[in-house]
Chain A
């Protein structure tokens, strides 16, 4: 009885203290045994004139990371969580390469993103020096995957693939309406993206029965579109095909409205704003009826709607950047999973050979060809109808019938 209440001897206290100390010292070893986080880089324009796009991409990518981690992380690595590190390309190519260097120093296994063609070109090249896999999201210049860079892959469609679809659908649209459109004016930004696209259009449109009456290029950022609108007013083309980034598209659409230029249709190819809810809600009149052939999530996939909700919950307007970057993070995580190691070379090997689920993008199974281009990537055709962006082509994903002429 009494022994039980005996105060502990000095020796016992020392023993206990030593045991406790050992436990404390051992604790870091226990932590270390947990799998280290797999670092994925996201390179996006977080500031500068493209910052809006970067912000949406970040929301999409973070959503994917949360989903992956909630589902138990990378299973092949003992449930290692994914950690997203965002690099800011500051909307220009030089800073894009610098940010890639920073992501490399941060020890990322792979980078996704890029957004603009000019930025993606320098960033993938910078990543190539470290054999760091780079999965480009929405940048479309063909040349990105044509430089024999083993580390460079593109998730979305390139120019050639996209214009093929866009032109086939344009012909379909025009034929179905009884061929009301004969003349076309191209308005494009004078960077790699706009000029490249305009060149392809100039090569292909005449063969499809359209006459190109004018090709107008402008710098990004543009100060003013009044002269562009004036030229369009004097030429009265049936169709205007614009290719530029968000601000310029808005400026053009609003200036056309101001100058009362009313073509039979505005058929954007990768239009910066034509499939952005910001444009649609801020300038509903200018946006109504605008067509776009662009990156777009599968509208029947419930996660696509969830992403839109998440974007809106953060006080932003939805556009394709969120779904494509969500899906791209999923692909990269799957590649790490398949590689079974957070190892750059192994991830490149998997990207080059395996097949991947495409997240919410309408690509079926993603499979990269020898150049690193996702062979199953596909843009969708949308039209703004009554303040909503509706998929009109292809039939498998269509939500509404096209309205043409507008």
Chain B
């Protein structure tokens, strides 16, 4: 029904959308992999980061991409503080309490944002938001191309941190064996908070990539986190590679299903996959090793 060109473009659109999904999922899967908790406050943190990008643009006149230099460290600090001084102490080491603490935190953040910013949607207008990159006969949206590039770079940086640095080794050690790690002198509380900080920093990047093409209101994060949970399950809980591949795949599926079934039903494909993965391969694509 559609020409191959249109289908190719739709799939590329999906790939680029999926890259941003992957960024959101990276933070979620990292926290799960190390702390073994599902962070329900992840969406609220994304919303905070998006408001941060919006504020930097509206108050300081900063370009949303440039504002990463402010937002990413700020989000890392926020993530570190939240885990070290709120989530960690409040949960008293019990996993199911952590779940509730993060849920509570997300409700507090969401309503705090509602009180501060009201429920109005805010957007950023940039000259390049509707520019295109011409790739042969294909017209690719410029912010999407940037999004894909930045997501891939972030994933590589994350992989390097985890595999080639002392902090990364410590994170992996804690993830594998908490007690053993603390016996060899790793400060587990600190590493937990660092993991949270890295996960939140990913959200800072995602927020800066999203704002030129999307809007923010206090519930915006929730829409992405639902997709991110699907990606984490699809890719394998705790797997960085899984989150990246899963994110891209979900983006493509969403784009393809909205091309064929219409935008109203665009997300149906995502949740069909979610159910299928749970039924057929509950460990996810890359999550077999435990």
Q: Real complex partners, A and B?
A: yes
B-binding residues in A (CB < 8 A): 47-49, 51, 90-91, 190, 216-219, 221-224, 226-228, 230-231, 233-234, 247, 254-255, 257-260, 282
Q: Which of the 9-residue segments B83-91, B174-182, B234-242, B259-267 touches chain A?
A: B259-267
Q: How far is the CB of B1 from chain A (nearest CB, A)?
A: 9
Partner of A219, one of B130, B255, B264: B264
A274 to B131, CA, bound (A): 22
User: Is A234 a contact partner of B263 (Cβ separation < 8 A)?
Assistant: no
A223 to B144, CA, bound (A): 13
Beyond A48-B119, A247-B121, is A223–B10 a contact (Cβ under 8 Å)? no
Contacts of A259 in B (CB 8 A): 132, 139
Partner of B10, one of A48, A51, A227, A260: A227
Contacts of A226 in B (CB 8 A): 10, 13, 141
Q: Is B120 an interface residue (CB 8 A)?
A: yes
Contacts of B258 in A (CB 8 A): 227
Q: Is B77 an interface residue (CB 8 A)?
A: no
Contact mask for chain B residues 115-152; partner A; CB cutoff 8 A; 1 contact, 0 none: 00011110001000011100000010100000000000
Contacts of B10 in A (CB 8 A): 226-227, 230
User: Is A216 a contact partner of B263 (Cβ separation < 8 A)?
Assistant: yes
User: Is B6 a contact partner of A190 (Cβ separation < 8 A)?
Assistant: no
Q: How far is the CB of B126 from chain A (nearest CB, A)?
A: 12
A135 to B29, CA, bound (A): 52
A189 to B125, CA, bound (A): 23
User: Which residues, 230 to 273 on B, are CB-close (under 8 Å) to A?
Assistant: 255, 258-259, 262-264, 266
User: Is A228 a contact partner of B263 (Cβ separation < 8 A)?
Assistant: yes
A-binding residues in B (CB < 8 A): 2-3, 5-6, 9-10, 13, 17, 118-121, 125, 130-132, 139, 141, 213-215, 217, 255, 258-259, 262-264, 266
Contacts of B125 in A (CB 8 A): 282
A224 to B13, CA, bound (A): 10
Q: How far is the CB of A168 from chain B (nearest CB, A)?
A: 29
User: Is A231 a contact partner of B2 (Cβ separation < 8 A)?
Assistant: yes
Contacts of A90 in B (CB 8 A): 119
Q: How far is the CB of A45 from chain B (nearest CB, A)?
A: 10
Contacts of B141 in A (CB 8 A): 226, 258
Contacts of B9 in A (CB 8 A): 230
Beyond A226-B141, A234-B3, is A218–B262 a contact (Cβ under 8 Å)? yes
Q: How far is the CB of B217 from chain A (nearest CB, A)?
A: 8
A247 to B215, CA, bound (A): 10
Contacts of A234 in B (CB 8 A): 2-3, 5-6
Beyond A226-B13, A227-B13, A230-B9, is A255–B259 a contact (Cβ under 8 Å)? no
Contacts of A228 in B (CB 8 A): 263
Contacts of A221 in B (CB 8 A): 121, 215
A226 to B13, CA, bound (A): 8
Contacts of B264 in A (CB 8 A): 190, 217-219
User: Is B262 a contact partner of A216 (Cβ separation < 8 A)?
Assistant: yes
Partner of B132, one of A49, A217, A230, A258: A258
A and B contact pairs by CB, cutoff 8 A, 15 listed? A90-B119, A217-B264, A218-B262, A221-B121, A221-B215, A224-B17, A227-B266, A228-B263, A230-B2, A231-B2, A234-B3, A234-B5, A258-B131, A260-B139, A282-B125
Contacts of B262 in A (CB 8 A): 216-218
A257 to B131, CA, bound (A): 10
Q: How far is the CB of A305 from chain B (nearest CB, A)?
A: 29
Contacts of A218 in B (CB 8 A): 262-264
Q: How far is the CB of B243 from chain A (nearest CB, A)?
A: 21
Q: How far is the CB of B45 from chain A (nearest CB, A)?
A: 20
Contacts of A227 in B (CB 8 A): 10, 13, 255, 258-259, 263, 266
User: Is B130 a contact partner of A254 (Cβ separation < 8 A)?
Assistant: yes
Contacts of A254 in B (CB 8 A): 130
Contacts of B266 in A (CB 8 A): 227
The 4 closest A-B pairs by CB, nearest first: A218-B263, A234-B6, A190-B264, A258-B130
A51 to B122, CA, bound (A): 11
User: Is A47 a contact partner of B130 (Cβ separation < 8 A)?
Assistant: no
Q: How far is the CB of A256 from chain B (nearest CB, A)?
A: 10
User: Is B263 a contact partner of A217 (Cβ separation < 8 A)?
Assistant: yes
A190 to B264, CA, bound (A): 7
Q: How far is the CB of A229 from chain B (nearest CB, A)?
A: 9
User: Is A230 a contact partner of B263 (Cβ separation < 8 A)?
Assistant: no
Chain A: CB-nearest residue to B129: A254
A48 to B255, CA, bound (A): 27
A217 to B266, CA, bound (A): 11
A328 to B74, CA, bound (A): 49
A91 to B120, CA, bound (A): 9
Q: How far is the CB of B2 from chain A (nearest CB, A)?
A: 5
Partner of A224, one of B2, B6, B119, B213: B213
Q: 19 additional contacts, CB 8 Å, given A231-B6, A255-B130? A: A48-B120, A51-B120, A91-B119, A216-B262, A217-B262, A217-B264, A223-B214, A226-B141, A227-B10, A227-B13, A230-B2, A230-B9, A230-B259, A231-B259, A234-B5, A247-B121, A257-B130, A258-B131, A258-B139
Chain A: CB-nearest residue to B114: A47
User: Is B6 a contact partner of A230 (Cβ separation < 8 A)?
Assistant: yes
A230 to B121, CA, bound (A): 26
A254 to B2, CA, bound (A): 22
Contacts of B217 in A (CB 8 A): 48-49
A227 to B119, CA, bound (A): 28
A182 to B139, CA, bound (A): 27
Chain B: CB-nearest residue to A257: B130
Contacts of B214 in A (CB 8 A): 223
Q: How far is the CB of A122 from chain B (nearest CB, A)?
A: 18
